[in-house]
Amino acid sequence: MAETGTRPGDTLPKGFRSAEHGWPELARIPHPPHRIPLLGDLLGASRSTPLQDTLRYARQLGPIFRRKAFAREFVFVWGAGLAADMADEQRFAKHVGLGIANLRPVVGDALFTAYNHESNWQLAHDVLAPGFSREAMAAYHPMMWDVAERLTGHWDQELAAGRSVDVPGDMTKLTLETIARTGFGHDFGSFERDRLHPFVTAMVGTLTYAQRLNSVPSPALLRRAGRRNEADIAYLHRTVDDLVRERRATGGGPGDLLDRMLDTAHPVTGERLSPENVRRQVITFLVAGHETTSGALSFALHYLSLNPAIAARARAEVDRVWGDTAVPGYEQVAKLRHVRRVLDEALRLWPTAPAFAREARADTELDGDHPMRRGAWALVLTAMLHRDPEVWGQDAERFDPDRFEASAVRARAPHTYKPFGTGARACIGRQFALHEATLVLGLLLRRYDLRPDPAYRLRVTERLTLMPEGLRLHLERRTAPRSTAPGAPAGPVPDEEVSAPRCPVHRAGD
């Protein structure tokens, strides 16, 4: 059983806590030049790409810095020492603030948005964690494969029609269908539709609204958008209520996440999730379970298309491990170590959840240098931590999956790679996302050569998550025999390279 550590009743004031209240020596932390009264550092700031703006300032201002928007000031950290210190679970915990707090009207105390002191976090964590065990993944595997084949069915049609493919659009369809089917036995029919499923539109609407709330001094300024947001939330609720009603009508499903939510009692206390909480968890999983993985796959495909030698090496591994097996099993996906490293490297350069917030459990000093009062918080800027030249070398901006060779990983300091967050509140769906994405990349590499559009330059869109904007790829169907390619290691994959079964949530070091 994991503990978030903050004692029940040991609560801090809710709402935004500006940095000047929690950082006694805030003045020592650099901020952008040209700060102006009322607006703070907003001059020249981009509303649509706040993260990329922040990365620019990170490069100018160093491993810890602050920004101010109107009266709200926040601290960012990305230096390896500072980020590692913030990973200390004894002294720091997840902070629910900014964009995450803005999602509370939609999903309240569900796993992702729960405050540390809310008892429903522990209850849901303990009830749902077994749904992410190795056994659970192996059970999801055939459904993941089915959905991946719907994608290749669609891509074959696009190829036959002489069209390039819409990578982020199709990855979003794929990942939504995967979590909906494996988790909830539901089919949104995404690949059969010309337009986005209304659930996706409503979901994107709420995420965008949550982000916009950060860039205005008061929600009153977004009245019209606020009304649309309420309609979006109502649509999300209706969709989920239908889904639960269907499941109840059939008298139970295959033991998936929805069954766990509806029927499983806590192993120690015997408590169950309330109907309201189930609704919040279902929305959380449908949202958290697809946006980030869709972005990760899209970035990985972008880099594979630009790096034919890396793609050839990954493809050679797929051919060697899968051979002529029509439908590879769970273990054959787990053995794709090079493909997995491609994904790890894509998530290094573009962690699709690009930051997470941590707060001090008690008065402390960050990295022995910056005093923080209890409840003071900072955003760990993963997207910059993953590019720190002191950790990743002078070529940190270069795409190189070999950085994730076992020996290179061992040689690196701990807590320097955090695409899935840290500690008790780290991503519960990590193994799910990695298995799904490795399977899909394996299948696509086996079936197609990926050709970039020579005119395309990577542009990254930001909601709560990151996505390559407008990425289209040209496909060629592979005709080459599936033999071992030159340079690829021959023979079976040694056992030590195979993913070891492990707890999906609590891993040492990362």
> Hey, which residues are catalytic here?
292, 420, 427
Nearer to ligand HEM by Cβ, of 300 and 316: the residue is: 300
| Residue 427 annotated as binding site | yes
| Residue 298 one-letter amino acid | S
Q: How far is the CB of 144 from ligand HEM (least distance, A)?
A: 11
111 lines the binding site for ligand HEM (CB under 6 A): yes
Nearer to ligand HEM by Cβ, of 132 and 392: the residue is: 132
Q: Closest Cα partner for 76 from 90, 104, 97, 91?
A: 97
Stretch that binds ligand HEM, among 85-93, 152-160, 392-400, 414-422 (CB under 6 A): 414-422
User: Interface residues for ligand HEM in 77-106 (CB under 6 A)?
Assistant: 94, 100
Nearer to ligand HEM by Cβ, of 169 and 419: the residue is: 419
- Residue 3, sorted as left (phi over 0), alpha (psi -120 to 50) or beta, turns out to be beta
Helix, strand or coil for residue 170? helix
Looking at residue 505, what DSSP letter applies? S
DSSP string over 106-137 = HHTTSTTT--TT-HHHHHHHHHHGGGGSHHHH
Distance between CA atoms of residues 432 and 179, nearest Å: 9
Nearer to ligand HEM by Cβ, of 383 and 426: the residue is: 426
356 lines the binding site for ligand HEM (CB under 6 A): yes
- When binding is defined by CB under 6 A, the residue of 171, 427, 466, 471 that contacts ligand HEM is 427
Nearer to ligand HEM by Cβ, of 293 and 474: the residue is: 293
User: Interface residues for ligand HEM in 234-273 (CB under 6 A)?
Assistant: none
Q: Which residue is nearest to ligand HEM (CB)?
A: 429
179 lines the binding site for ligand HEM (CB under 6 A): yes
Q: How many residues bind ligand HEM (CB under 6 A)?
A: 26
Contact 302, 468 (CB under 8 A): yes
Distance between CA atoms of residues 132 and 124, nearest Å: 13
What 3 state SS string does 356-398 have? EEEEECCCEEECCCEEECCCCEEEECHHHHCCCHHHHCCCCCC
Q: How far is the CB of 267 from ligand HEM (least distance, A)?
A: 17
Contact 197, 205 (CB under 8 A): no
140 lines the binding site for ligand HEM (CB under 6 A): no
Please report the beta strands in 283-339, taking only residues with DSSP state E, as ranges in sequence order: none
Helix, strand or coil for residue 406? helix
381 lines the binding site for ligand HEM (CB under 6 A): no
Q: How far is the CB of 471 from ligand HEM (least distance, A)?
A: 17
Q: How far is the CB of 372 from ligand HEM (least distance, A)?
A: 18
Q: How far is the CB of 120 from ligand HEM (least distance, A)?
A: 11
Nearer to ligand HEM by Cβ, of 264 and 484: the residue is: 264
User: How far apart, in Å, do the first and last CA atoms of the chain sit?
Assistant: 18
Q: How far is the CB of 412 from ligand HEM (least distance, A)?
A: 19
Distance between CA atoms of residues 263 and 19, nearest Å: 43
For the record, the structure tokens of 201 come out as 């539109």
125 lines the binding site for ligand HEM (CB under 6 A): yes
112 lines the binding site for ligand HEM (CB under 6 A): yes
Contact 303, 399 (CB under 8 A): yes
284 lines the binding site for ligand HEM (CB under 6 A): yes
For the record, the structure tokens of 253 come out as 């499903």
428 lines the binding site for ligand HEM (CB under 6 A): yes
Nearer to ligand HEM by Cβ, of 320 and 348: the residue is: 348
* Residues sharing a CB contact under 8 Å with residue 405, sequence separation 6 or more, in sequence order: 341
Q: How far is the CB of 459 from ligand HEM (least distance, A)?
A: 20
Distance between CA atoms of residues 349 and 176, nearest Å: 23
The string over 128-155, giving b where at least 16 C-beta atoms fall within 10 Å of a residue's C-beta and e elsewhere, is bbebbebebbbbbbebbbebbebbbebb
- CA-only gyration radius of the chain, Å: 23
Stretch that binds ligand HEM, among 27-35, 50-58, 285-293, 396-404 (CB under 6 A): 285-293
Stretch that binds ligand HEM, among 200-208, 226-234, 290-298, 389-397 (CB under 6 A): 290-298
440 lines the binding site for ligand HEM (CB under 6 A): no
Residues placed in the known binding site for heme: 427
| Positions that interact with ligand HEM (CB under 6 A) | 94, 100, 111-112, 125, 179, 284-285, 288-289, 292-293, 296, 352-353, 356, 419-421, 425-429, 432-433
